[in-house]
Amino acid sequence: MSLGPALSAALQVHGLQLRGGFCPSPEEAIALPNGRPAAVLWLAGNMGGSMWNAFQASSFAHDGLPHPLDRWSRHLGDALAQQFGGAALYPFDGPPAQPHYHPFQQWASRCEPLFPSPLMLRMHPQHGLWHAYRFALIFSTVDTQDRVALAENTGDALQEENPCLSCIEQPCLQACPVQAYDGQGFDVHACRAHVRQDANQVCMTGGCLARNACPVAPHLRYAPAQARFHMQAFVPDDLA
Ligand code: B12
């Protein structure tokens, strides 16, 4: 069996999807811990709240320790890497422990049709802004079937259109109470200062108003419990 379908099946058990993959070029210098270059990189993530129930059913969600979703992701990614003979890379591994973050958004753009959005998050034509990455799995070999399937998938992706280009009103840029978005960047300090003022305000209880204002894929918007979880993670405890 090719790796792609096997990984896809293994991820679905945990509410995660195989978001695609690509064969890195030597210039990208993506290597396994043993130094061998990665022949293929597969990306795993969630669409909307697809992983929320599986995460909530895990001990990580309730043990009171910091970064529960990252620890859940690492637990799954490491287990799958071991099962299939590869290595896992994580979006949250970065400074100060690592020199830089892995370029997950760039990798994602090579896996599926993604476009820049005014909120800087990547826009997916079907999933809107409601998708994120949990880990990447890299392997030192790739079988011919996977290589061909990945090349064909990239061809399809190029035919999609960016929904933001036909969105005349751009409600995402009108919705933030502190104008943290101007279409060019994200004022993280203004956002955090506002959100930490009151734990019961709507940004905290219902999620980011700018992201929620996006008309694409409204059915995938995070439910209140998940929205609150992500906003709490975004406002560090030492600022709260
Ligand atoms: C640091 C970080 C932040 C910082 C940003 C600080 C800063 N000003 O750079 C803070 C804490 C503010 C943040 C917040 C959030 N983040 Co963040 N963040 C990251 C993280 C860990 C690293 C980004 C990075 O520096 N990458 C390194 C560079 C080299 O990689 P890159 O692929 O080239 O990424 C850059 C470019 O793609 C560029 N970029 C993105 N869009 C565009 C568009 C244009 C036109 C251009 C030129 C460039 C550009 O910006 C990226 C960062 O510099 C990534 C995970 C990751 N490893 O990528 C998540 C990530 C980008 N964040 C994500 C999310 C969801 C959020 C939040 C919504 C989380 C929340 N709690 O709700 C908020 C809102 C942020 C927002 N609206 O922009 C998702 C985005 C998924 C998506 N759909 O695109 C990621 C990929 C994490 C994940 N697990 O999936 N984040």
Is residue 89 within 8 Å of residue 103, measured between CB atoms?
no
Check if 215 has its Cβ closer than 6 Å to any atom of ligand 1: no
Q: Which amino acid is at 205?
A: T
Which is the closest atom of ligand 1 to the Cα of 92?
21
Helix (H/G/I), strand (E/B), else coil: 168: coil
Residue nearest to atom 46 of ligand 1 (CA): 116
What angle separates helix 144-157 from helix 3-12, to the nearest 10 degrees?
70
Residue of 41, 67, 121 with the most ligand 1 atoms within 8 Å of its CB, for mutation: 121
The Cα 95–Cα 83 span in angstroms is 28
Check if 110 has its Cβ closer than 6 Å to any atom of ligand 1: no
Burial of 155 (0-12, 13-18, 19+ CB in 10 A): exposed
Tens of pLDDT along 25-64?
999 999 999 999 999 999 999 999 999 999 999 999 999 9
For the chain, give every domain's residue range.
3-161, 167-235
The Cα 86–Cα 73 span in angstroms is 16
Q: Which amino acid is at 186?
A: F
**pLDDT for residue 236:** 67
Regarding predicted confidence, which is higher, 184 or 155? 184
Helix H or strand E encompassing 189 = helix 188-195
Residue 220 has pLDDT above 90, yes or no: yes
**pLDDT for residue 239:** 45
The Cα 182–Cα 127 span in angstroms is 23
